[in-house]
């Protein structure tokens, strides 16, 4: 196998493990003496526990314990964090008090020898409640005064006097992440140390939180997440079930496995909150924005303040002298919301880009052209230049590939094979930042390399991308590079969130490789029998795995593994460390990725059948390290976007507070049959402000804008503007 530099489509290096079933996902870990924990979930949405009777459950076959507030043992609160240091979204430890604040809240947990015994015992726990009427209303009103998130100019006056105005409110429903892999914890306690096998997108953060909540030093907790059956943000931060498993393992001195069931996935492990967003656009008759206001609300839980940050992308999307963004929270009897793929920007851009489409129609200007007319030459929110912004080119390339010039803007005017066509477009963007990262790289005497960091591959391709990066920088073929992730014993790596892992690890990998290579040069000059014995290290160079004199080519040099062998060293190890840019106050550039989404829907009014038939996506996300998984991320996002636009919504029963469609039949995600023809283009402009390779991440941007493009297409096909997602066929029946 040859070198696999960045830009080459290396197939997933862990693929064979996954398709053969060898890959160990969290719930695949089993240990001698393993016990199974099954939580008991509240069957009211608000109130208090009046009585909890475990006498029957506790004496059932195989039952080892039934835990609740009185006997779970101490689980501390993790103190509030700054940024995303030691973070969890639902901060109340399980069973902390007798108050029920959302349907499904854990009130007890049965632990037994088998899973079936634990379920039977959990069902036999008798809980009585003093129930109150839960509040799960869809309509949101802010609690207190909304936050002012950004302002420039005088938006009210400019809007009032604008010749053309759009003033609309858009809402997005509760969306549940629904990765195929259920959340799970397998907790092992040896009397001193915890080893926690977790479905987590952040082993280091999970370790730090768990240490605080279990009341032990960090070095007493090891968290492992080798493979993840996806998370979509739902597994970024720890959830209460993890501490039930750990506390049970500590109390029983036996390993405990707890797998969250699919219905609990709708209650106990977060969701994208409901959002309600008022967008006001004022424009001149030339289409230039004179005012933009984005007032957003999202629901949160009774105890936690989860901000969806809907206006994240709004200040820099378009040029406008007058701008304001506000946000507010409305408390509901729901589990705590959390990040879901593209938090903030995804619902926010649905609203903003829908309003831009409405403005284009009001002005009689093509929606692509309207965006071009409002292209900013800097980030007007931060008053900083963009590190690299190519939205205009994304729109131009997308329009060409989609055939946008053939669009007839009249509603219902386009047809193909007897179906009415609708075409829509939207822009998209996502942050391009780095978290702090440390990476170790070993160069070994068999010509192989090992790269290790405590980040994790959540299914996005991090294993493979790291192999690409190391291959490019060392000249070692990807199949000779061992990538080790998902273990807090490794140098601390970033959470898999914000599409930042690739960008974050690259500088640390570079540094680690330089360090490991420098030690090989040292070995070369200090080892008799190498051609370089006795030279100065700075007279040598390292090219494509070959050590050679700087004044000679690598063809007269020696492979690094031979130098290691002559030095009788198995390997040299280098450690690289890179700082975070995320949250930095001191910045010279606005750093974002951009893109354009073009969508085609087909509409058959005679049978009320609406399908997304075609999507063209053009993404400007820096240099693409591995096009194969990168394309896979965008395609997956587009399919998820079909679900967001047309299908997905968690429905809460108003009387019981229960998320009632808590399964994969009644909560509809897009199926394969719903996936449109998808064409993805990457512009591939390196963004060297972010790292030396110019690479950003692509895990989230593909979901931004797609719902707005689809709903714009639905309007074009049907004449119905749906401002409350998802689009239901009953809204199109009239």
Partner 1 sequence: MEMFAFSEAAGVEDAIRAGAESGTAQQGARVRFVAGGTTLLDLMKLDVERPLAVVDINGLPLDTVTKLTDGRLKIGALVRNSDLAYHPDVRSNYAVLSQALLSGASAQLRNMATTGGNLLQRTRCMYFRNRALPCNKREPGSGCSAIEGENRSLAILGTSAHCIATNPSDMNVALTALGAVIQIEGTAGKREVPIEAFFFEPGDTPERENVLDPGDLVTSVTLPPPPQNCSQVYLKLRDRASYEFALASAAIVASVDNGTFSYIRVALGGVASKPWRSLEAEEQLYDQPVDEASFRRAADAALAGARPQSRNGFKIELAKRCIVHALGVATAS
Which of 8, 9, 43, 724 touches partner 1 by CB under 8 A? 43
State the greatest distance between any 2 C-alpha atoms of the chain, in Å, as a whole number. 87
Interaction between residue 180 and partner 1 (CB under 8 A): no
- Nearer to partner 1 (CB atom), residue 122 or residue 289: 122
Interaction between residue 611 and partner 1 (CB under 8 A): yes
Which of 608, 677, 692, 719 touches partner 1 by CB under 8 A? 608
Instruction: Please state the φ and ψ torsions of residue 520, each to the nearest 5 degrees.
Output: -70, -40
- Nearer to partner 1 (CB atom), residue 493 or residue 657: 657
Using DSSP, state whether 616 is helix, strand or coil.
strand
Which residues 701-730 are close enough to bind partner 1 by CB under 8 A? 728-730
Contact between residue 727 and residue 714 where contact means Cβ atoms under 8 Å apart: yes
Contacts of 564 (CB under 8 A, 6+ apart): 443, 444, 445, 520, 523, 570, 571, 572
- Bond into 726 cis (ω within 30): yes
Which H or E run includes 127? strand 126-131
Which residues 642-671 are close enough to bind partner 1 by CB under 8 A? 646-647, 651, 653-656, 658, 660-661, 663, 665-666, 668, 670-671
Residue of 702, 731, 693, 700 lying closest to 715 (CA atoms): 731
Interaction between residue 609 and partner 1 (CB under 8 A): yes
- Nearer to partner 1 (CB atom), residue 74 or residue 655: 655
- Nearer to partner 1 (CB atom), residue 24 or residue 724: 724
- Nearer to partner 1 (CB atom), residue 3 or residue 654: 654
The pattern of x and - marking residues 235 through 274 that bind partner 1 according to CB under 8 A reads: ----------------------------------------
Interaction between residue 120 and partner 1 (CB under 8 A): yes
**Cα–Cα distance, 569 to 331 (Å, whole number):** 61
- Nearer to partner 1 (CB atom), residue 268 or residue 581: 268
**Cα–Cα distance, 637 to 625 (Å, whole number):** 18
Quickly count: other Cβ atoms within 10 Å of residue 384's Cβ: 15
DSSP string, 142-173: -SSSPEEEEEES-HHHHHHT-SEEEEEEEEE-
Which of 24, 123, 479, 515 touches partner 1 by CB under 8 A? 123
Which of 3, 23, 56, 119 touches partner 1 by CB under 8 A? 119
Query: Which two structure tokens, joined as six digits, stand for 97?
Result: 């008090």
**Cα–Cα distance, 540 to 536 (Å, whole number):** 7
- Nearer to partner 1 (CB atom), residue 383 or residue 730: 730
Contact between residue 434 and residue 582 where contact means Cβ atoms under 8 Å apart: yes
Helix axes 706-718, 627-646, angle to 10 degrees: 50
**Cα–Cα distance, 210 to 86 (Å, whole number):** 9
Which of 674, 686, 720, 723 touches partner 1 by CB under 8 A? 674
Residue of 380, 466, 351 lying closest to 150 (CA atoms): 380
Interaction between residue 672 and partner 1 (CB under 8 A): yes
- Rounded to a whole number of angstroms, the minimum distance from the CB of residue 691 to partner 1 is 40
Contact between residue 468 and residue 506 where contact means Cβ atoms under 8 Å apart: no
Query: Would you report the helix, strand and coil content of the chain in percent, each value rounded to 5?
Result: 30, 25, 45
Contact between residue 350 and residue 317 where contact means Cβ atoms under 8 Å apart: no
Quickly count: other Cβ atoms within 10 Å of residue 32's Cβ: 6
Relative to beta strand 677-682, strand 609-620 is parallel
Contact between residue 395 and residue 619 where contact means Cβ atoms under 8 Å apart: no
The pattern of x and - marking residues 685 through 704 that bind partner 1 according to CB under 8 A reads: --------------------
The catalytic residue among 380, 482, 700, 731 is 700
- Rounded to a whole number of angstroms, the minimum distance from the CB of residue 660 to partner 1 is 5
The pattern of x and - marking residues 564 through 603 that bind partner 1 according to CB under 8 A reads: ----------------------------------------
Which of 53, 116, 286, 579 touches partner 1 by CB under 8 A? 116
Q: Which stretch binds partner 1 (CB under 8 A): 63-71, 114-122, 393-401, 478-486?
A: 114-122
- Rounded to a whole number of angstroms, the minimum distance from the CB of residue 673 to partner 1 is 4
Residue of 487, 482, 489, 513 lying closest to 576 (CA atoms): 513
- Nearer to partner 1 (CB atom), residue 119 or residue 397: 119
Interaction between residue 673 and partner 1 (CB under 8 A): yes
- Rounded to a whole number of angstroms, the minimum distance from the CB of residue 20 to partner 1 is 20
Q: Which stretch binds partner 1 (CB under 8 A): 112-120, 158-166, 490-498, 584-592?
A: 112-120
> Catalytic residue at 700?
yes
Contact between residue 54 and residue 121 where contact means Cβ atoms under 8 Å apart: no
- Rounded to a whole number of angstroms, the minimum distance from the CB of residue 422 to partner 1 is 17
**Cα–Cα distance, 133 to 495 (Å, whole number):** 38
- Rounded to a whole number of angstroms, the minimum distance from the CB of residue 666 to partner 1 is 6
Q: Which stretch binds partner 1 (CB under 8 A): 85-93, 295-303, 431-439, 604-612?
A: 604-612
Q: Where are the extended beta strands (E) located within 419-520?
A: 419-431, 437-444, 449-452, 481-484
- Rounded to a whole number of angstroms, the minimum distance from the CB of residue 171 to partner 1 is 17
**Cα–Cα distance, 579 to 598 (Å, whole number):** 37
- Rounded to a whole number of angstroms, the minimum distance from the CB of residue 495 to partner 1 is 32
Query: Which two structure tokens, joined as six digits, stand for 400?
Result: 């060409």
Interaction between residue 607 and partner 1 (CB under 8 A): yes
Query: Which two structure tokens, joined as six digits, stand for 362?
Result: 């009001």
Residue whose pair of structure tokens reads 């080119």 in the numeric block:
393
- Nearer to partner 1 (CB atom), residue 656 or residue 685: 656
- Nearer to partner 1 (CB atom), residue 22 or residue 733: 733
- Rounded to a whole number of angstroms, the minimum distance from the CB of residue 87 to partner 1 is 32
- Rounded to a whole number of angstroms, the minimum distance from the CB of residue 713 to partner 1 is 17
Query: Which two structure tokens, joined as six digits, stand for 503?
Result: 């960008």
**Cα–Cα distance, 378 to 588 (Å, whole number):** 12
- Nearer to partner 1 (CB atom), residue 190 or residue 666: 666
Between the two ends of the chain, the Cα-to-Cα distance in Å is 61
- Residues annotated as catalytic are 700
Q: Catalog residues that contact partner 1 under the rule CB under 8 A.
A: 43, 116, 119-120, 123, 606-609, 611, 646-647, 651, 653-656, 658, 660-661, 663, 665-666, 668, 670-674, 728-730, 733
């Amino acid at each position: 196998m040859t070198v696999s530099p960045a830009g080459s489509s290396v197939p997933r290096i862990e693929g064979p493990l996954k398709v053969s079933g060898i890959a160990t996902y969290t719930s695949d870990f089993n240990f001698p003496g393993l016990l199974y924990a099954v939580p008991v979930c509240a069957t009211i949405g608000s109130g208090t526990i009046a009585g909890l009777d475990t006498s029957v459950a506790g004496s059932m076959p195989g039952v080892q314990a039934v835990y609740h507030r009185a006997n779970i043992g101490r689980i501390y609160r993790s103190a509030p964090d700054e940024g995303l240091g030691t973070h969890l979204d639902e901060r109340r430890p399980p069973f902390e008090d007798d108050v029920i604040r959302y349907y499904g809240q854990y009130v007890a947990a049965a632990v037994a020898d088998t899973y079936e015994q634990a379920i039977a015992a959990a069902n036999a726990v008798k809980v009585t409640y003093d129930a109150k009427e839960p509040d799960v209303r869809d309509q949101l009103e802010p609690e207190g005064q909304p936050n002012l998130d950004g302002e420039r100019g005088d938006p009210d006056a400019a809007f009032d006097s604008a010749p053309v105005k759009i003033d609309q409110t858009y809402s997005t429903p509760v969306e549940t992440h629904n990765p195929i892999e259920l959340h799970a914890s397998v907790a092992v306690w040896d009397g001193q140390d915890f080893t926690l096998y977790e479905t987590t997108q952040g082993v280091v953060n999970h370790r730090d939180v768990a240490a605080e909540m279990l009341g032990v030093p960090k070095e007493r907790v090891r968290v492992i997440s080798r493979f993840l059956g996806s998370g979509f943000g739902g597994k970024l931060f720890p959830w209460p079930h993890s501490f039930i498993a750990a506390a049970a393992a500590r109390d029983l001195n036996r390993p405990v496995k707890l797998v969250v069931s699919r219905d609990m996935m709708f209650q106990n492990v977060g969701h994208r909150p409901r959002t309600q967003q008022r967008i006001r656009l004022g424009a001149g008759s030339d289409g230039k924005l004179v005012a933009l206001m984005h007032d957003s609300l999202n629901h949160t839980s009774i105890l936690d303040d989860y901000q969806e940050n809907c206006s994240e992308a709004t200040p820099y999307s378009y040029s406008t002298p007058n701008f304001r963004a506000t946000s507010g929270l409305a408390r509901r009897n729901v589990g705590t919301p959390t990040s879901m793929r593209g938090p903030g920007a995804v619902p926010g851009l649905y609203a903003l880009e829908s309003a831009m489409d409405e403005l284009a129609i009001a002005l009689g200007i093509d929606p692509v052209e309207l965006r071009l007319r409002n292209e900013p030459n800097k980030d007007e929110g931060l008053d900083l230049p963009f590190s690299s912004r190519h939205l205009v080119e994304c729109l131009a390339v997308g329009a060409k590939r989609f055939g946008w010039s053939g669009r007839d803007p009249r509603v219902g005017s386009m047809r193909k094979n007897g179906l009415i066509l609708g075409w829509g477009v939207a822009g998209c963007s996502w942050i391009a930042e780095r978290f702090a990262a440390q990476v170790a790289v070993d160069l070994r005497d068999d010509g192989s390399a090992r790269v290790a960091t405590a980040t994790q591959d959540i299914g996005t391709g991090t294993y493979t991308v790291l192999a690409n990066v190391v291959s490019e920088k060392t000249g070692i073929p990807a199949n000779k590079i061992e990538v080790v992730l998902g273990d807090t014993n490794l140098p601390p790596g970033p959470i898999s969130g914000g599409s930042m892992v690739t960008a974050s690890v690259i500088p640390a990998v570079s540094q680690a490789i330089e360090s490991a290579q420098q030690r090989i040069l040292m070995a070369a000059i200090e080892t008799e029998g190498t051609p370089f014995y006795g030279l100065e290290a700075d007279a040598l160079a390292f090219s494509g795995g070959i050590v050679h004199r700087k004044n000679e080519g690598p063809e007269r040099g020696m492979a690094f593994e031979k130098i290691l062998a002559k030095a009788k060293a198995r390997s040299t190890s280098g450690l690289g460390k890179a700082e975070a840019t995320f949250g930095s106050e001191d910045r010279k550039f606005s750093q974002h990725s951009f893109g354009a989404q073009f969508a085609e829907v087909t509409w058959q009014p005679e049978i009320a059948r609406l399908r997304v038939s075609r999507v063209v996506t053009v993404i400007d996300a820096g240099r693409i390290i591995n096009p194969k998984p990168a394309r896979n991320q965008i395609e997956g996002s587009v399919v998820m976007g079909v679900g967001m636009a047309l299908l997905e919504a968690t429905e809460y029963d108003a009387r019981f507070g229960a998320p009632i469609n808590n399964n994969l039949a009644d909560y509809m995600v897009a199926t394969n049959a719903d996936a449109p023809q998808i064409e993805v283009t990457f512009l591939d402009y390196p963004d060297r402000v972010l790292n030396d390779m110019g690479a950003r991440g692509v895990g989230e941007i593909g979901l931004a804008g797609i719902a707005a493009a689809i709903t714009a297409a639905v309007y074009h096909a049907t004449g119905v503007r749906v401002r409350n997602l998802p689009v239901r066929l009953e809204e199109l029946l009239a």
